[in-house]
Amino acid sequence: MLTIKQFASIPAGTDLTALYRAAVGDYPKFFKMDTACKLGFLLAEQLADEPRFVPREDRAVLMFSTCGCLCNDLHYEETVKDFPSPALFVYTLPNIITGEIAIRNKYEGETSAYVLERFDPAQFAALVEQAFQDGVTGSALCGWVDARSEGDFTAFAFLVERDGNGLEFSVETYMEQLIEEIKLKLIDALNLDGMTPADIDNDAPLFGDEGLGLDSIDVLELIVLLERNYGIRLANPQEGKKVFQSVAVMADYVAANRTK
């Protein structure tokens, strides 16, 4: 069984240079990296365990995205008009992110970068589990890093190990975390002061007297929430009412359709 030893995330809009200076500060190569690599590097620093910088073949690095290195590719394309930038060209491969993490930490196990059509928790979990089938991998740093621009990104990662003492690494665990996250975003977006995630039943109706008592104006807030946080654009409020039946239904829809 695979378990989650640690989890890390970087909120969109975070000043990555400031985070680097506060948390690391001793790796100047950071400033050469593209946005995706900076995010992967900083996630790996948050998840680093002891001993540091000791070569190990049992640690794999697997990173996933829908954008790959598109953010950097667009910067590189601009230089092609004049003189192609060698410094940017280095980062026009999606798997550079895993290389930067492995070089920094001396991880010598499998390194793989996957560019997927969308975030699919079942596919994510299956590919991570597959990495453990080689008989060598005992742990893996695996993450989702989508850098759409320098300030617009989705970045989170897990340190997963075989037969550890943490939460089971599975689709079910992901859905539990997603439900908790959606509850927190609902509370913030709807200004439900004093309410906590524990106060919201997963299957309770969001509209009507039996649940949160939301109304048609709140639907608009939830439509904005989906687009801003998960890249999901609903066509109209009527479609939203089907999605917003409950937090559980909303989470299922987000997991199946999120683009960030």
Higher pLDDT, 20 or 194: 20
Q: Cα angle vertex 257, ends 122, 4, to 5°?
A: 35
Q: Where are the domains of the chain?
A: 2-169, 173-257
Chain segment 197-256, per-residue pLDDT in tens: 999 999 988 887 777 888 778 888 888 889 888 888 887 667 777 888 899 999 988 887
The hierarchical CATH code for the domain 2-169 is 3.40.47.10
Q: Whole-number mean pLDDT of the chain?
A: 89
Chain segment 159-180, per-residue pLDDT in tens: 999 887 777 888 788 888 899 9
CATH architecture of 173-257: Orthogonal Bundle (1.10)
pTM here is 0.76
